[in-house]
Amino acid sequence: MLGKCITNVRNNVPLVHNITNYVTVNDVANVLLACGGSPIMSDEPDDVEDITTICGGLNINIGTLNKNSIEGMFLAGKKANELGHVVLLDPVGAGASALRTNTAVKLMDEVKFDVIRGNISEIKTLALGSGTTKGVDADVADAVTEDSLDSAVTFVKELAAKTGSIIAITGAIDLVADAERCFVIRNGRPEMGKITGTGCQLSGMMTGFLVANPDNKLEAAAAAVCTMGLAGEIGWSRMQEGDGNSTYRNRIIDAIFNMDEETLDNGAKFEIK
């Protein structure tokens, strides 16, 4: 069901403009290349509208904000909307500072997003307009668990209906929802949390998946989440004695590079609520 999405990425080679944080920019580019897409990075206000024009999708990540990049985000987002391109928001650390929270909320007011992807604390912050996170990590009190799953599914569907965006919450249990359907995904490894930027990488890859699957955006977003989680499982299975988180990062990227339709369909663990 979802495997066709990655085949479409490889066949279409979507060009994705990333305004992403400088902690993870290289890994975001490499993951996009690994899944079959093509990355370009620019946050200079005088450059972003031209760059967005030649791309099919825009990934906005607020992980390392500055005044120039913020201006670039609004210019690129509005240009992408004007052109009908896919736009994704990754509200990294929303709730950790007023600047991050206010920037994300204002972006949501002024730019139409196809997808909003973050951890549960970041997404709750956007839903409420305020909140708390543990740095850029989810607050333990917010975690989606089996006990809280039904209420979390209701929350994401309601937020999707309110925003008109697909809502993707990633954590131990991943939720990808529009107003009607929610993919509950159980791929991944807890060790992925020891690598900086798996979420940032996923946002870049997810943008590419949506560009390549314009008629099935919810399935495309879910397929990207399953791809990342399954790559985490495959990469972990190949770890050797003495390997650490740096090697694990590379093994995840390699697993994405080698991911195909059959592997994804056989390995994706999800239900639809």
CATH number of the domain that residue 217 is part of: 3.40.1190.20
- The CA distance from 89 to 155, in Å, is 18
- pLDDT, residue 234, reads 98
Positions of the chain with pLDDT lower than 50, given as ranges: 134-140
93 φψ region: left (φ > 0), alpha (ψ -120 to 50), beta (else):
left
- pLDDT, residue 144, reads 80
- pLDDT, residue 203, reads 97
- pLDDT, residue 140, reads 45
Domain of residue 118: give its range.
3-272
- pLDDT, residue 132, reads 52
- pLDDT, residue 113, reads 98
Residue at token pair 């397929």: 223
Domain count, the chain: 1
- pLDDT, residue 138, reads 47
In terms of Cβ atoms closer than 10 Å to its own Cβ (0-12, 13-18, 19+), residue 148 is middle
